[in-house]
């Protein structure tokens, strides 16, 4: 009887029907000549799971397991064919597949949690040199030449629920404005998302935001809030404020003007300046708001995890299309491994789960477990026979 390999079990998290529906809608297989989008996806996910650093490694490693290709719905690949597909085939297929998996993960997060917390941030992907400069030089900013990954993370489930790839010169707030806000959710973000009208949109949506004031924020004191004596070394200030100007200049209008918001100052031991928070949350304690903002570092750690454990620093191609396909398939791989871990009730960390998958990608765990049980049973029977002979 056939049993799935670990690779096959991981790919179960992605509906083949959903994938093919996206491919047909975009007509992505129209000129495939045998090497379909599914073959490309399998090859790129294999590259992520196995940690391959070149197309030659992908070709040699994947083709050495030709016996298992049929059950994956794939075939032997050639590195030149994969390179051409990554260069010429639009990344939109993998972008839409990634968004579908993100929505699937988001639904599971909403079922399992009663309080929704989302962290917003972006991370640069530096790309310089031959092949990269042709398309990254004109869109660089003062810090990065390459691309930028924008993400919304549900930290309690360690699952991203939104992602977008842009040029580095696209401001974080421009992507933030595209988000579909959830009523009652809490959004935590840094000063890169400073837009008072967007803050007001979150407020009007009955959602909560926690962020930081910029130094030049024009605000007026309305009233001070009580600080518990036990917290006075931690919470330096807690007050209600409003914005000074309805029209801050340049034909701009501040929609938040006239609506109260909260300013909380939290001490930071070892830092020269305290943490000055802006929020529309008047229910949580000032200490809780400080702890909530500190959780923003979890998305920084998430980006670090992705870059250390999946392949989004070294690329198999140098065109914009190839780079985006590899980034999207890295996020797809993360989501598939996360679903695999949850489905199988694996308690160990996601990193160790990935190591286990990577070490036995084409092994069949169920058959191995049955073989182990048989060997163990034979050993017990042998031991009992030895004991009888001794008597």
93-119 pLDDT, tens per residue?
999 999 999 998 888 777 766 678 999
Looking at the DSSP assignment, which residues form a beta bridge with residue 115? none
Q: Is 372 left (phi over 0), alpha (psi -120 to 50) or beta?
A: alpha
For 148-171, the pLDDT digits (tens) are 999 999 998 889 999 999 999 999
Count the Cβ atoms, other than its own, within 10 Å of residue 374.
10
| pLDDT bucket at 376, cuts 50 / 70 / 90 | low
For 20-29, the pLDDT digits (tens) are 999 999 999 9
- Supply the pLDDT for residue 248: 81
Q: If you average pLDDT over each of 69-73, 185-189, 268-272, which comes out highest?
A: 185-189
For 281-312, the pLDDT digits (tens) are 999 999 999 999 999 999 999 999 999 999 99
Beta-sheet strand order (sheet of 235-243): 159-166, 146-154, 117-126, 186-188, 208-212, 275-279, 261-266, 235-243, 219-224
pLDDT at 12 over 70: yes
| C-alpha separations of 225 from 263, 333, 382 in Å | 10, 47, 76
DSSP string for residues in 346-381:
--S-HHHHHHHHHHTTT--HHHHHHHHHHHHHHHHH
The gap from C-alpha 150 to its chain's centroid, in whole angstroms, comes to: 9
pLDDT at 374 over 90: no
Q: How far apart are CA 155 and CA 165, in angstroms?
A: 20
Count the Cβ atoms, other than its own, within 10 Å of residue 309.
19
Q: What is the DSSP letter of 368?
A: H
Sign of CA dihedral 292, 293, 297, 298: positive
Residue 338 lies in a domain: yes
- Supply the pLDDT for residue 369: 47
Residue 142 lies in a domain: no
Residue 19 lies in a domain: yes
225 class by beta-carbon count within 10 Å (0-12 exposed, 13-18 middle, 19+ buried): middle
Contact 131, 160 (CB under 8 A): no
pTM of the model: 0.89
Residue 89 lies in a domain: yes
Q: What is the DSSP letter of 249?
A: B
The gap from C-alpha 373 to its chain's centroid, in whole angstroms, comes to: 38
Q: Which of 143-147, 198-202, 335-339, 382-386 has the lowest mean pLDDT?
A: 382-386
Q: How far apart are CA 206 and CA 90, in angstroms?
A: 39
Percent of the chain with pLDDT over 70: 92
- Supply the pLDDT for residue 176: 95
For 311-334, the pLDDT digits (tens) are 999 999 999 999 999 999 999 999
Between CA 385 and CA 390, with CA 386 as vertex, the angle to 5 degrees is: 115
Residue 373 lies in a domain: no
Q: How far apart are CA 357 and CA 154, in angstroms?
A: 24
Q: Count of domains in the chain?
A: 1
Looking at the DSSP assignment, which residues form a beta bridge with residue 243? 219
Mean pLDDT of the chain: 90
Count the Cβ atoms, other than its own, within 10 Å of residue 94.
25
Contact 45, 336 (CB under 8 A): yes
Residue 82 lies in a domain: yes
Beta-sheet strands, E only, within the chain: 117-126, 146-154, 159-166, 186-188, 208-212, 219-224, 235-243, 261-266, 275-279
- Supply the pLDDT for residue 2: 53
Residue 60 lies in a domain: yes
Q: How far apart are CA 32 and CA 19, in angstroms?
A: 16
The average pLDDT across 138-154 equals: 94
Contact 256, 199 (CB under 8 A): yes
Residue 126 lies in a domain: no
Range of the domain at 338: 6-93+313-359
Which token pair is 208? 């909560």
Contact 221, 241 (CB under 8 A): yes
Convert 250-259 to b/e letters by CB count within 10 Å (16 or more is b).
eeeebbbbee
pLDDT at 372 over 60: no
């Amino acid at each position: 009887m056939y049993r799935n390999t670990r690779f096959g079990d991981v790919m179960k998290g992605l509906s083949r029907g959903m994938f093919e529906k996206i491919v047909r809608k975009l007509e992505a297989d129209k000129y495939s000549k045998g090497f379909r989008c599914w073959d490309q996806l399998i090859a790129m996910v294999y590259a992520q799971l196995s940690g391959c650093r070149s197309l030659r490694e992908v070709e040699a490693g994947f083709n050495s397991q030709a016996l298992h290709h049929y059950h994956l719905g794939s075939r032997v690949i050639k590195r030149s064919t994969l390179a051409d597909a990554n260069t010429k085939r639009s990344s939109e297929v993998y972008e839409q597949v990634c968004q579908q998996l993100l929505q699937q993960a988001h639904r599971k997060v909403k079922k399992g949690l009663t309080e929704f917390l989302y962290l917003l941030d972006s991370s640069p992907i530096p790309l310089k040199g031959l092949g990269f400069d042709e398309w990254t030089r004109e869109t660089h900013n003062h810090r990065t030449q390459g691309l930028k990954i924008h993400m919304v993370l549900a930290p309690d489930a360690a699952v991203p629920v939104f992602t977008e790839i842009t040029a580095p010169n696209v401001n974080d707030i421009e992507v933030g404005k595209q988000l579909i806000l959830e009523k009652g959710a809490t959004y935590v973000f840094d000063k890169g998302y400073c837009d008072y009208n967007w803050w007001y949109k979150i407020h009007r949506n009955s959602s909560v935001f926690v962020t930081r004031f910029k130094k030049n924020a024009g605000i007026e004191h309305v009233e001070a809030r009580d600080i518990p004596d036990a917290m006075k070394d931690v919470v330096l200030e807690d007050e209600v404020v409003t914005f000074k100007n309805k029209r801050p200049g340049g034909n701009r209008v501040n929609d938040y003007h006239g609506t109260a918001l909260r300013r909380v100052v939290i001490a930071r031991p070892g830092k020269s300046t305290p943490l000055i928070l802006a929020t529309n949350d008047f229910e949580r304690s000032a200490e809780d708001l400080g702890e909530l903002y500190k959780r923003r570092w979890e998305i920084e750690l998430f980006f670090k995890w992705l870059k250390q454990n999946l392949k989004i620093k070294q690329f198999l191609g140098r065109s914009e299309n190839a780079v985006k396909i590899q980034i999207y398939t890295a996020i797809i791989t993360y989501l598939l491994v996360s679903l695999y871990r949850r489905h199988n009730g694996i308690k160990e960390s996601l990193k160790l789960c990935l190591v286990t998958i990577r070490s036995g990608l084409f092994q069949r765990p169920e058959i191995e477990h049955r073989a182990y049980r048989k060997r163990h049973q034979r050993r017990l029977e042998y031991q009992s026979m030895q004991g009888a002979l001794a008597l």
